């Protein structure tokens, strides 16, 4: 079911580090701009995209920036008493499959264009090697920066690098964007 596929967006160091002390361990304004652009833009102007994130990533977003604007925010938590404030643009879900199921069912299926899984480490561990992952948009940070949260090394044999940007440097950190797309599908 094409509705149940998703794309991953993540920024990682050479060691696959993505976070430190519940925050991003770097300040890369153009990366945040890229993230906003890719997760917000739709091919159908009457629809919006969904972003799926772990509860700790939700907690890491400054109050004034959440929910992430113009996107349906889906927050994953195993706790039924999850304290994510409910608002029109936020739903909570108990697992990745149930989130994908929800988005593929009415009324969401009519309103939602693309689905992005945006972190953090716990969620990406499952999502990046999941059979529904159709693309990974990776900000490859060309540095070793101290992290306490990591993503798995992905089985890249099913992916191909599809496009890559020229390197950028911000705050003395060199990085570039690479998109990997799935070329081998093995879905039921």
Instruction: Return residues touching ligand NDP (CB under 6 A).
Output: 10-11, 18-19, 22-24, 53-57, 60, 76-79, 82, 94-96, 118-123, 126, 149
Q: Which of 181, 173, 182 is nearest to 28 (CA)?
A: 173
| Nearer to ligand NDP among residue 112 and residue 147 (C-beta) | 147
- CA 10, CA 52: separation in Å to the nearest integer? 12
- CA 65, CA 156: separation in Å to the nearest integer? 33
Q: State in angstroms the smallest separation of the CB of 183 from ligand NDP.
A: 23
| Nearer to ligand NDP among residue 112 and residue 151 (C-beta) | 151
Q: State in angstroms the smallest separation of the CB of 13 from ligand NDP.
A: 9
Q: State in angstroms the smallest separation of the CB of 104 from ligand NDP.
A: 17
| Nearer to ligand NDP among residue 48 and residue 55 (C-beta) | 55
- Residue whose tokens read 């945040």: 32
Q: State in angstroms the smallest separation of the CB of 52 from ligand NDP.
A: 10
- Residue whose tokens read 């920066």: 145
| Nearer to ligand NDP among residue 59 and residue 113 (C-beta) | 59
> How many CB atoms within 10 Å of residue 141?
22
Phi-psi region of 167 (alpha: psi -120 to 50; beta: other; left: phi over 0): beta
Q: What is the CA radius of gyration of the chain?
A: 16
- CA 183, CA 178: separation in Å to the nearest integer? 15
Q: State in angstroms the smallest separation of the CB of 29 from ligand NDP.
A: 14
| Nearer to ligand NDP among residue 119 and residue 132 (C-beta) | 119
């Amino acid at each position: 079911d094409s509705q149940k596929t998703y794309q991953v967006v993540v920024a990682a160091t050479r060691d696959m580090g993505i976070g430190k002390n519940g925050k991003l361990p770097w300040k890369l304004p153009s990366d945040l701009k890229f993230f906003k652009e890719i997760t917000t833009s739709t091919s159908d102007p009457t629809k919006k995209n969904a972003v799926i994130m772990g509860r700790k990533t939700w907690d890491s977003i400054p109050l004034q920036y959440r929910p992430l604007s113009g996107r349906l925010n889906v927050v994953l938590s195993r706790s039924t008493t999850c304290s994510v404030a409910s608002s029109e643009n936020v739903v909570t879900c108990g697992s990745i499959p149930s989130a994908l199921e929800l988005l593929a069912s009415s009324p969401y299926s009519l309103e939602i264009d693309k689905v992005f899984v945006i972190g953090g480490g716990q969620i990406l561990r499952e999502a990046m090697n999941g059979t529904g992952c159709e693309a990974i948009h990776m900000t490859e940070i060309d540095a070793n920066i101290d992290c306490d949260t990591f993503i798995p090394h992905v089985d890249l044999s099913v992916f191909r690098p599809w496009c890559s940007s020229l390197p950028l440097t911000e705050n003395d950190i060199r990085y570039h964007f690479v998109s990997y797309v799935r070329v081998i599908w093995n879905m039921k």
